[in-house]
Structure 1
Amino acid sequence: MLKLVLGNKAYSSWSMRGWLALKASGLEFEELVVPLYNGDWDERREGDEFAPSSGKVPLLWHDETVVWDSLAIIEYCADLTERSIFWPEDLAARAMARSMAAEMHSSFAALRRECPMNVRRSVPLPDLSEETVADINRILVLWAQARARHGGSGPYLYGEWSAADMMYAPVVTRFLTYSIPVPPFARQYMSDVLKQPHVAQWIDAAQDEPWVIEQYEGSQGTA
């Protein structure tokens, strides 16, 4: 049995990526949402369930197998099902998609810090640092290159929904939350991502969560 341990859907971008991977796989799984930073958080993250990831989410249990980190969960789901669900079949496109996913995984710290994920909120464009503007511009360049080289007639970065889109879906929500101005091609891509059934399901579920993390309700923070 697969069980995915998540943080709040309103705030946890990494949880969203892991959850989108499980949904794309088509495999049945149990999801357990653990509210981040509430009264039980410190005690809970020290339990056996969280031990392999040192208290971080998402965390996937498959019987006795445990996988943590969103990108690792994507790869595990690809191993369990079909890699073509997650990565483009064309070699050049697949190489670029993996590079984009890895860059999302390891980069853009300024954007994460200044524009924490909050899918329940919409605010005017805040004053952003040069580092965050550079992160945004880099992401837009990546999106443009993927669409121009490998997008074809499909709506997503590599035409069909893929792991690259799963990795950048929380960025789409950030751009929307903080009213980040983007060129027309990116607006269309964002619209298509937000209409993707699994993304829409995640955002809808977040609206009904009772938990509020005050540090993520301002314009500064991390998520």
Structure 2
Amino acid sequence: MPRATLTISSKNYSSWSLRGWLLCKMAGIAFDEAQVDPDSAANRQELLLLSPSVRVPRLERGTIAVWDTLAIAEYLHETFPEAGLYPRDVTQRALCRSISGEMHSGFYNLRSALPMNLKARHKAFKIFSGARPDIERVKEIWHQCLLTSPGPFLFGPTPSVADAMYAPVCTRFRTYSVDLDPVLQAYVEAVLAWDLMVEWTEGALAEPDEITELDVEF
């Protein structure tokens, strides 16, 4: 099969691009990155053709095209089951899918109040009240998983789909100095030290400082 292509947006701002990229790397798939410039009107039109929702990432592999992050996760899981993207245990696998789906479809106030920005650091950031329940729910989810997980990731020693889905939240919590207890802080630090996250972050820091965000994407 021809080498795959993953279309992504800004590495500094695009949380969905990060999730899709992590999943592809975790699956061990060989792919080329096609990064679109969100400042370009032409590329914005191209995104409309790539995906009706103007969203990235989009994975193309031969005649197969998959967009939407969870769809990419399921495709990769079906195609590369040996990669272990989901836990082996059926109960844990159900929980992994549930919390990944919850991140995929929810937490709108968290996304709006704490946009992903890997270059920024705010030591005293006032979080508006509407986002606080979302933050508390994330903490609850992480505690639920880490209570039975040997760590350092949500379902054990290796990352799962859930860790890819919550990795951008870890960056947000660092960027905006969200207060965490020692257990959750250790989880965030483990995710940020993950070799794939280090690689992505290096790419984000190398991007130009001024990029106009696609607010429908983040």
TM-score (norm 1): 0.90
Q: Is 1:22–2:29 an aligned residue pair?
A: no
Cα distance in 1 for residues equivalent to 2:132 and 2:48: 37
Q: Superposition RMSD on alpha carbons, in Å?
A: 2.0
Partner of 2:162: 164
Classify the secondary structure of the residue corresponding to 1:17: helix
Classify the secondary structure of the residue corresponding to 2:60: strand
1:125/1:180 contact within 8 Å kept: no
1:12–1:59 Cα change, 3 Å: same
Range moving further from structure 2, 74-83 or 169-178: 74-83
TM-score (norm 2): 0.92
Range moving further from structure 2, 73-82 or 184-193: 73-82
Where structure 2 has 5 or more consecutive residues not aligned to the other structure, the ranges are none
2:73/2:161 contact within 8 Å kept: yes
Cα distance in 1 for residues equivalent to 2:208 and 2:193: 24
- What amino acid is the match of 1:170? P
Residue 33 of structure 1: which of 35, 38, 46 is its match? 35
Partner of 1:183: 181
- CA drift of 1:165 comes to 0.3
Q: Is 1:92–2:94 an aligned residue pair?
A: no
Where structure 1 has 5 or more consecutive residues not aligned to the other structure, the ranges are none
Classify the secondary structure of the residue corresponding to 2:196: helix
Q: How many residues align?
A: 215
Partner of 1:78: 77
Cα distance in 2 for residues equivalent to 1:178 and 1:187: 13
- CA drift of 1:215 comes to 5.9
- CA drift of 1:75 comes to 1.0
Partner of 1:118: 117
Partner of 1:139: 138
Cα distance in 1 for residues equivalent to 2:154 and 2:130: 24
- CA drift of 1:43 comes to 3.2
Cα distance in 2 for residues equivalent to 1:192 and 1:46: 36
2:57/2:67 contact within 8 Å kept: yes
**Deviation string for 1:63-94 (max 9, x for gaps)?**
12110011111111111111661111111111
Classify the secondary structure of the residue corresponding to 1:18: helix
Residue 7 of structure 1: which of 9, 22, 27 is its match? 9
**Deviation string for 1:105-153 (max 9, x for gaps)?**
011000100111011111123222222111000000100000103x12x
- What amino acid is the match of 1:109? Y
Partner of 2:104: 105
Classify the secondary structure of the residue corresponding to 1:40: helix
1:222–1:176 Cα change, 3 Å: farther
**Deviation string for 1:142-192 (max 9, x for gaps)?**
00000103x12x300011210000000000000001111111111100110
Cα distance in 1 for residues equivalent to 2:193 and 2:111: 23
1:67–1:187 Cα change, 3 Å: same
Q: Runs ≥4 in structure 1, deviation > 6 angstroms?
A: none
Partner of 1:203: 201
